[in-house]
Structure 1
Amino acid sequence: MDFRLYDPFVNMTFSSHACFLCGTIVSDDERIPVFSGWLQKRYDLGQKKLQLLDQSTLTFTEMQIPCCPVCAEKVAELDQKVEAASKTGLPGLQALEEKTLFLWLARMFYGILVTELKTEQNPLIKPEYSVGENPKMLHKFQSFFQLMQAIRVPIEFDDFTPCSIFMVELQQGEQKTEFNYRDDLTTMMFSLQLDNVLIIANLLDNGFLKKAMTPVWREVEGKVLHPIQAAEFSARVYYAAYIFNLTPDYFVRRQKPEDTHLIYDTLVDDITATIFNPWEHSVYATALEKFWLPWQISRNQILQNPESPLSFLLDAEGRFRELQEWEVPVI
């Protein structure tokens, strides 16, 4: 069995003719969609547009990455597992092995990331925010790619989970079948709404976010959220990722001749560092305002009480709020 690992970040080789997972040279037509084909078909995404950091746009159909036939088969297996699970909604997705869901989300996140990195390498384009010029960020991306090699190589994560994944059920309205996604490349955050299921993930935190969010998650898990509550919960997770202060490193354990898989161990880059920077209500309110844009709730309204930002998710005692109706503070 081939246990060789690939790392395009060593020489920043993001060629349109190199398989994104293994580096094998491929032809122009050996490509796969960044967003799973079944997602595009189910939600009619094909011609809908995505905006990149340089303000250029691509349709979902146009956003593709090079992939050799062997790796394409591995990706297809992932897609089939998640598609089958998604047909029964939240229970089906919850029944998936977390590693399977992580790798499925990671492939889409990486497809977006590599598209941005290739755009930055175009000498005629200079994006406002470059994701490829920060050594610390490149280290994070490299660590993340090491984990993603588990799509093509049999790899086990020893005594750690590489990510934090939250899944919540949304109240069903009268709207049509719905798909939404959000990402933040610098914090490794990626979220998807598949009808009435919201998946929120940090893809490189070794589970620290989920542990830190335990008090809130304990109240939210198993509840059906109003969309405004789901937006608030998303803001809390995204902001927690923003103040997360560590980057895990991953190491391949020494192999034995009879091994049938690789084993990854992990360390954080600085064990003396603070895991999370301080939570600042004023900064969190700025993030929450963006998530609450559909309801036109301003930062000033959120911070009417600076020591206790507005919440439709939890009451004053920190308990889940059964939301039937609400009132936005008038400034």
Structure 2
Amino acid sequence: MTNLSLYEPFGKMQFTDTNCFLCGTAITTEHRAPVFAEWLQRKYNLKDKELLLLDKSVTSFGQLTIPCCDHCHTHYLLPLEEEVESAFSQGIEGVRQLPQQRLFQWIGKMYYGTLVTELIKEANPLIMPEYAVSEDPKMLGKFRMFFMVLQSLRVPMVFSDFLPCSLFLLEVDPTEDNLPFEYQDELTTMCFSIKLGPVAVVCTLLDNGIIGRALGRLYGVTQGQQLHPVQVAEFKARAFYAAYIFAVVPEYFVRPTKPDDTKLVLDTLIDDVTNEIFNPWEMTAYAHMLEEMLKPWSIREDKILQNPGQPLSFLLDAQNNFKPIQHFVKPV
């Protein structure tokens, strides 16, 4: 009989080094799994590279591990990593062929792995950060909902007419691309981006695809195009800012099960009656986000807002059509 029970660590804040992050099984501290898979670390020489965690502390990719029982590691994490490694080895077409739910699980595992590291550290009063995630009920509510759908990694699960996230796949032009690997995430807005060679993936993790629809036209003009890295940075700024002003939290509900069921079916609800889906767009706030993403090109906010009605864009021309860029020229 298929075990369809979900693990719920948030009620008792059961985040320790002796409970499997995915199923809650009691383990020893030696039972660990890498947050960033070993194949990633080997391919991009990441093991000793510094990594800034969500709480702004610094570790390395090789040191970042999470408590994980042998069963979950062997039966759920390793097969997922094998699928993803194979997909990325075939370029963007290979990644497009990967089921979106699997890509969500892969990204979600890395995001949640860094979050679990934060929550375990907060359990130690000697290293309690200034702004503790565990003391923010709204954020914990978001993480609880997210972990429910992330357990599709372990428990057979069908999402009824939705995917919990928005996924964007971008192909990078190699001409002026000097970074084979890039990674960025944001705790409170649940945004994540990762670039492996010529493929960049941007994901807003808990929006039920709403941001994907909101950015649908922009995303559409990028498809079939090889983007200059500065264009990828702008797309990331737009997605991350959309997540920043996203104002609702989806709720998920498990349909009642029967004894012979082999999977859970989840429905979702978003309160768009008493709440606006998005807070108002503020041009200055967006410009600040874009400035952060454009740091490698030293483009400042005053240049971005030189024309306040139409902020600087490397993706779109004045008629909102795609703007091809092969060689970057800094705007004067």
TM-score using structure 2 length: 0.96
User: What letter matches 1:227 in structure 2?
Assistant: P
Q: Which residue of 1 aligns with 2:34?
A: 33
Three-state SS of the structure 2 residue aligned to 1:297 is coil
Deviates more, 1:312-321 or 1:128-137: 128-137
Spell out, residue by residue over 1:83-133, the C-alpha distance to the aligned partner (whole angstroms, 9 max, x if none).
Answer: 111111100000000001100110010001111222233212242443332
Q: What is the correspondence of 1:219-298 to structure 2 with a 5 Å cutoff?
A: 219-269=221-271, 271-298=273-300
The two structures, once aligned, show a CA RMSD in angstroms of 1.5
> Mind listing any 5+ residue stretches in structure 2 that lack a counterpart?
none
Q: Which residue of 2 aligns with 1:214?
A: 216
CA distance in 2, matches of 1:221, 1:133: 41
User: What letter matches 2:80 in structure 1?
Assistant: L
Q: 1:288 to 1:128 in 2, by over 3 A?
A: farther
Q: 1:127 to 1:248 in 2, by over 3 A?
A: same
Deviates more, 1:232-241 or 1:115-124: 115-124
Deviates more, 1:178-187 or 1:44-53: 44-53
Spell out, residue by residue over 1:32-88, the C-alpha distance to the aligned partner (whole angstroms, 9 max, x if none).
Answer: 001111101111111111123544321111111111111112111111111111111
The question of whether the paired residues in 2 share the 8 Å contact of 1:31 and 1:66 is answered with yes
Q: Which residue of 1 aligns with 2:102?
A: 100
CA distance in 2, matches of 1:55, 1:10: 26
> CA shift at 1:242, angstroms?
0.4
Spell out, residue by residue over 1:238-266, the C-alpha distance to the aligned partner (whole angstroms, 9 max, x if none).
Answer: 00000011100101101122211110111
Q: Which residue of 2 aligns with 1:51?
A: 52
The question of whether the paired residues in 2 share the 8 Å contact of 1:154 and 1:260 is answered with yes
Please point out which of 280, 298, 301 is paired with 1:299.
Answer: 301
Q: Which residue of 2 aligns with 1:180?
A: 182
> Mind listing any 5+ residue stretches in structure 1 that lack a counterpart?
none
TM-score using structure 1 length: 0.96
Three-state SS of the structure 2 residue aligned to 1:200 is strand
CA distance in 1, matches of 2:155, 2:217: 36
CA distance in 2, matches of 1:213, 1:176: 27
The question of whether the paired residues in 2 share the 8 Å contact of 1:304 and 1:329 is answered with no
User: What letter matches 1:166 in structure 2?
Assistant: F
CA distance in 1, matches of 2:43, 2:133: 31
Q: 1:225 to 1:214 in 2, by over 3 A?
A: same
CA distance in 2, matches of 1:177, 1:240: 25
User: What letter matches 2:129 in structure 1?
Assistant: P
Q: Which residue of 2 aligns with 1:7?
A: 8
The question of whether the paired residues in 2 share the 8 Å contact of 1:53 and 1:129 is answered with no
The question of whether the paired residues in 2 share the 8 Å contact of 1:131 and 1:186 is answered with no
